[in-house]
Every structure is written in C-alpha cells, then in structure tokens.
A and B are shown apart, each in its own frame.
Chain A
C-alpha cells in the first residue's frame, strides 16, 4: 500500500486550465457582486456574464494558436484541437443564449444574478466535458452541467408548468446518471482503472464477458437519456415546453451537444474495441430516434413542442455516425462534430425567432404565426432560413451536416450502413413536411384577429439573430470552413 500513498505534485499547466479558471472566476465574481450590491447590480449582470464568456474564448484561441496537445493529471484531462473546437462551440452557443435571455429574464421579474451564475456554471461543466478523458472527470463534468440545468428549467417559480418541467427533467436526469454510474462501476471493476485508454485495452481483450456488455450498455443508456434518444426521450418535450424559452434553447443545444461529446469520447476511445456491442445499439437507437421523433413532431400544434420533437429527431441524425463507429471512425467523428456545430446555430436561431414572436403574440401555437410575413418580414425570412437549414435544404447550413452523415455511411459501406442511409433519407422527407407547415402558416395565412402590429425587437435579440443567421448561412455557403474544423478535431480525437 505504500506505493499508493506516494504523492507527487501534479504538474499544473496554467495556460491549459485558463479557460476553465476564467469561467469559474466570472461565475464567482457574479455571486460576489450580487452579495455586495444586491438588486442594484441587476442591470450589469447579463453584460458581466457575456464578458465572462468572451474572456474565456481568449485563452481558447491562444491555446489553438499554440497548437500543442497538453495532457494533465495522468491523461484524465486533455487539451487538443478536438476539445478546443468544442469549447469554442459551447462558449459561443452560451453567448447567444445569454443574448436571448437578457430581456426575457428582466421582463419576467425572475431572479437575475443567480440565473447567470448557474448558466456559467453549466457552461463550465460543458467546457470541462470536452477535455475529460477519464470516467471520474466525465462524471463530474456531466453533473456540473446538469445540476444547474435542473434549476434553470424550473426557473419560473410561480409557474406550474415550469415547476413540472424542472421535476421531470430532474427525475429523468438523476435516474439516468444513476444507471450510467452503475455501468461505470462495472466497467471500472473490469478495467481496474478509470482512464479511457486503460479501459479500451481491458475491454478489448474481454470478448465474451457479459459484465462488460452490461457495463457498456448501462453507460450508453445513461447518455442516451441526456441526448434524449428514443426510447429515453419522454422528458424532453415536456421539459422544453415548460421551461423558460431561453433555457429550452440552452438545453436543446448546449446540453445535448455536451452529451454527444461524452459519447464521442466513450465510443471512439474507451469502447473502441467493442464495436460488436456499440454498433448494433446505436443502429437501433438512431433509427428509432429519427423516426419516432419526426412522426410525433408531425402532429404537434405548439411550436416549442414541435421544435422539441424536431430536436429529438435531429439528435437521432447525430447518432447515425456512431452506428458505423468502427467501420469509418474518422468520417464518423467528423460527421458528428460538423452536425453539432451547424445544429447549434440553426436551432438557436429558430428559438430566437420563437422568443421574438412570443413577445408580441404571447403564444406558442403554430396558428399564431399566421401573417408573420406581413407584419414582421425580417423575422419570417430569418425563420425560413433556420427551418430550411433544419430540413437540410441548401444553401442554408443544414445540408452539409446531412451530407456528412451520408459520407460516413458510404465510407463504412455494407448492408447495415445502407439500411441506415435509407432511414435517414426517409426521415429527411418526413421532417420537411412539418417544417413546411410552419413556413406555409407564416407566409400564406392571415394574421389571427387581423392583429398586424409589428414585433418589437430588442438589441440583444437582434444580435443573437444576426449571429445565428450569419453562422447558418456561412456553413451552408462555405462548407469548407466547418469542414476544416471537423477534420482538425478528428485527427486529435482519434490520435489521443
């Protein structure tokens, strides 16, 4: 036992830790400011949080320019291009969400300072997640991003729906983490180590051990809850509908992306040798998620709920490359990363429009979108771009994401991949049907009650809209841009 207790001071690379430390510092700073000035500081909070996120982007950029891979804590925490691309994605999505939140949170008379602290904490968890290469750090990062999100979902304290959204999200999330943890304990028991590399070696050599299969399945099911994959999606529509809309956007984009990042690390590194278990699981889950998400979305009348089910279906598309994880690993990782990046912006954009329209109509029903083109042509055009992107119509960004999926499937080849390709194609068509319904409502139907007062836009909503439109169109017209980041991240994800 003596050898165990020998302690050597771990080498701390402050530059590598700078993004996390900056985010943490701003989170605590907001709390301190809140303690000292209380209500007088309310106005400054969104600005402070926004500055915090932009300040965190700085070390991410300097680390990317530096370019060397940094490994800390015995391989548990890694800074490479893959993690940096995702950190940047999380921070920018977080910034857009804060822009969306400013007026919603201020007008609603909710707690403000706590809202931004929790948002930054949750983002800290996501930023950590992209660097974690070890069961313990993945678990801590997952909980760090989830626990604030439970509270954010229940943010409208007096609203029965928001409370209910929080409860459902909480119960499902905690249950999923417990299942995932049990799987982790089994995998740890087999491997004797929490590091992904050691786990991969050990699991690869245990071909027929049922415990290994059980452990892997439990972990994957736990994350399937997080990314709201069918049949573990039941919480998502209720939570999305009940939670405050900016929080919904945050959950639908950032939280889902974080789950996907963890899945990439697990599937492509830790379970690399176990494609016999992983591939059939993801084939089934991806096909089910796409199909059921789309079919239920068809009959939704509330736009937030429709976007929730469409988000479930989009999650299914993101899971497709995992089904060919071993056959075409490089293409598969690339496809997932590209899909996540494009999805983040088009979905955030759609939620921004929903938020802006709800400021006037006070309604989330699709019927209330009638005549939007007459009284708010700008918003109608923006929504059209985002829906076209979600449906995968060029030149908006989404087509390139879908293209990436097919490329991964083609590279893998074989009957199973081809079958999944057919499912993807069919689902793309189904999805088009319900996106087209919203488009028809906006462009061709009259406004309900003839109410054609213009929508009042605020500066922050305009900024959020501009950022998401530019990103969505840029990815569609210059796919090489996002393709480059995808390729860069692949090399490091598979190299480590």
Chain B
C-alpha cells in the first residue's frame, strides 16, 4: 500500500492548491462586473450568434480521403527507407497492405464519394411545404410534422 503514498500525496496537494486558489481569489479579488467583462472572451468585442451556415460536405470526404492516404504514407516511408534490407518479403507485404488499402478507395468511388459538380446537384424536392411542382397552391396541414418525426425517433430508441 505504501506504493500509493506519493500518488496520494500529490493528489492531496492538488486538491489543496485548487481549494486555496479558489478561497484566495474569493477573498482578495474585487468583484466589479460589467457587461463587457461578463461576455464571452471578455475582450470588449460583442460576440455574434453563430449562424448555422451550410458548408459543402464534399470537402469533408476529400479530407477523409487525404487522411487515408496520409496513413498509407506513414507506413510506406519507413518501408522505402529500409527497402534494401527487407527485399522481396517487404515488397510482398506492402503490396498486400496497399491492396487492401486500395479497396477502401474503390469503395469510396463506388459509393459516389467523389462525384461532385452540377451533375449530381439535388433537385429541389417536390414535397416542399410551400409549393408543389404542378401548382403554386400552398399545401396546408403540415404544422407539427417535425414533432411527429422526433416522437417516432424516440420510441424507436428502445
């Protein structure tokens, strides 16, 4: 048990330090709050509400692809350095590795991960709440649909 003594001592010291700091700042620090100080970043610049901006998700897939090949390079580089030593064995091993790796790239291609541009832009769906494709009459009775959807999701969580 005495093995834990240093760890325990350090823990107690840590807790004491935190408590002391809190108590000391309560006692010593003057409390003169202003709006500017209360705001986030406390730098006087009024913070702006983060607008949920749409960003193209395709960039994310490209970033993923980059990370994938980044990982491959991590293993290719040491192999390249030691190639003379490793010889045929290293070549075969790396080929198998790269082959399985390449499969993930093919998968992404097959699933349309790299299809972008105008050809695949989503057509505005006909089920827009305001208009149908054939008329400009507004559909009614759609209020509360979003609630129904979330309720369905909750019950399915079981």
Please provide the 3 A-B residue pairs with the shortest distance between their CB atoms, ordered closest to farther: A364-B158, A7-B85, A35-B110
In the docked arrangement, what's the CA distance between A403 and B6, Å? 37
> Can you name 16 A-B pairs with beta carbons within 8 Å?
A5-B82, A28-B100, A31-B104, A35-B107, A158-B153, A159-B157, A160-B153, A161-B153, A210-B7, A213-B3, A213-B6, A217-B7, A280-B4, A302-B158, A358-B158, A362-B156
Docked-complex contact A160 and B82, CB < 8 angstroms = no
Docked-complex contact A156 and B7, CB < 8 angstroms = no
In the docked arrangement, what's the CA distance between A351 and B52, Å? 39
Docked-complex contact B158 and A28, CB < 8 angstroms = no
Say whether, besides A160-B150, A161-B157, A210 and B103 are in contact (CB < 8 Å): no
In the docked arrangement, what's the CA distance between A472 and B110, Å? 44
Q: Interface majority SS on A: helix, strand, loop or mixed?
A: helix
B-side contacts of A28, CB under 8 Å:
100, 103
| Interface residue? B86 (CB, 8 A) | yes
| Interface residue? B106 (CB, 8 A) | yes
A-side contacts of B53, CB under 8 Å:
none
Say whether, besides A214-B7, A362-B158, A31 and B89 are in contact (CB < 8 Å): no
Residues of B near any A CB (own CB < 8 A): 1, 3-4, 6-7, 82, 85-86, 89, 100, 103-104, 106-107, 110, 150, 153-158
In the docked arrangement, what's the CA distance between A120 and B155, Å? 29
- Measured CB to CB, the nearest residue on chain B to A280 is B1
Q: How far is the CB of A389 from chain B (nearest CB, A)?
A: 23
Docked-complex contact B156 and A156, CB < 8 angstroms = yes
Q: Interface majority SS on B: helix, strand, loop or mixed?
A: helix
| Chain A residue total in the interface (Cβ 8 A) | 36
Say whether, besides A5-B82, A35-B110, A363 and B103 are in contact (CB < 8 Å): no
Docked-complex contact A242 and B157, CB < 8 angstroms = yes
| Interface residue? A61 (CB, 8 A) | no
In the docked arrangement, what's the CA distance between A320 and B154, Å? 37
| Interface residue? A99 (CB, 8 A) | no
B-side contacts of A364, CB under 8 Å:
157-158
- Measured CB to CB, the nearest residue on chain B to A358 is B158
In the docked arrangement, what's the CA distance between A364 and B157, Å? 8
A-side contacts of B100, CB under 8 Å:
24, 28
A-side contacts of B85, CB under 8 Å:
5-7
B-side contacts of A156, CB under 8 Å:
156
Q: How far is the CB of B39 from chain A (nearest CB, A)?
A: 28
| Interface residue? A449 (CB, 8 A) | no
In the docked arrangement, what's the CA distance between A6 and B4, Å? 43
Q: How far is the CB of A340 from chain B (nearest CB, A)?
A: 27
In the docked arrangement, what's the CA distance between A214 and B3, Å? 10
B-side contacts of A463, CB under 8 Å:
none
**Contact string, A332-351, partner B, CB cutoff 8 A, digits 1/0?**
00000000000000000000
Q: How far is the CB of A231 from chain B (nearest CB, A)?
A: 14
A-side contacts of B150, CB under 8 Å:
160
| Interface residue? A131 (CB, 8 A) | no
**Contact string, A241-271, partner B, CB cutoff 8 A, digits 1/0?**
1100100000000000000000000000000
A-side contacts of B158, CB under 8 Å:
245, 302, 304, 358, 362-365
Docked-complex contact A31 and B6, CB < 8 angstroms = no
Docked-complex contact A159 and B7, CB < 8 angstroms = no
**Contact string, A314-341, partner B, CB cutoff 8 A, digits 1/0?**
0000000000000000000000000000
Q: How far is the CB of B52 from chain A (nearest CB, A)?
A: 16
Docked-complex contact A159 and B89, CB < 8 angstroms = no
- Measured CB to CB, the nearest residue on chain B to A36 is B110
Residue from the list B4, B6, B89, B157 in contact with A162, Cβ < 8 A: B157
A-side contacts of B110, CB under 8 Å:
34-35, 38
| Interface residue? A9 (CB, 8 A) | yes
Q: How far is the CB of A210 from chain B (nearest CB, A)?
A: 5
Say whether, besides A9-B89, A28-B103, A302-B158, A159 and B153 are in contact (CB < 8 Å): yes
B-side contacts of A363, CB under 8 Å:
155, 158
In the docked arrangement, what's the CA distance between A304 and B156, Å? 13
- Measured CB to CB, the nearest residue on chain B to A245 is B158
B-side contacts of A213, CB under 8 Å:
3-4, 6-7
| Interface residue? A277 (CB, 8 A) | yes
B-side contacts of A429, CB under 8 Å:
none
| Interface residue? A32 (CB, 8 A) | yes
A-side contacts of B104, CB under 8 Å:
31
A-side contacts of B6, CB under 8 Å:
210, 213
Q: How far is the CB of B93 from chain A (nearest CB, A)?
A: 10
| Interface residue? A13 (CB, 8 A) | no
In the docked arrangement, what's the CA distance between A108 and B150, Å? 16
Q: How far is the CB of A128 from chain B (nearest CB, A)?
A: 15
| Interface residue? A276 (CB, 8 A) | yes
- Measured CB to CB, the nearest residue on chain B to A38 is B110
- Measured CB to CB, the nearest residue on chain A to B10 is A210
B-side contacts of A6, CB under 8 Å:
85
Residue from the list A32, A242, A362 in contact with B103, Cβ < 8 A: A32
- Measured CB to CB, the nearest residue on chain A to B100 is A28
Residue from the list B4, B82, B106, B157 in contact with A35, Cβ < 8 A: B106
In the docked arrangement, what's the CA distance between A108 and B89, Å? 46
In the docked arrangement, what's the CA distance between A217 and B15, Å? 19
Docked-complex contact A362 and B155, CB < 8 angstroms = yes
**Contact string, A289-303, partner B, CB cutoff 8 A, digits 1/0?**
000000000000010
- Measured CB to CB, the nearest residue on chain B to A162 is B157
B-side contacts of A160, CB under 8 Å:
150, 153
In the docked arrangement, what's the CA distance between A34 and B107, Å? 8
Which A residues from 211 to 235 make CB contacts under 8 A with B? 213-214, 217
In the docked arrangement, what's the CA distance between A304 and B157, Å? 10
Add 5 more A-B contacts to A28-B103, A31-B103, A160-B150 (CB < 8 A): A31-B104, A160-B153, A161-B153, A213-B4, A302-B158
Which A residues from 7 to 45 make CB contacts under 8 A with B? 7, 9, 24, 28, 31-32, 34-35, 38
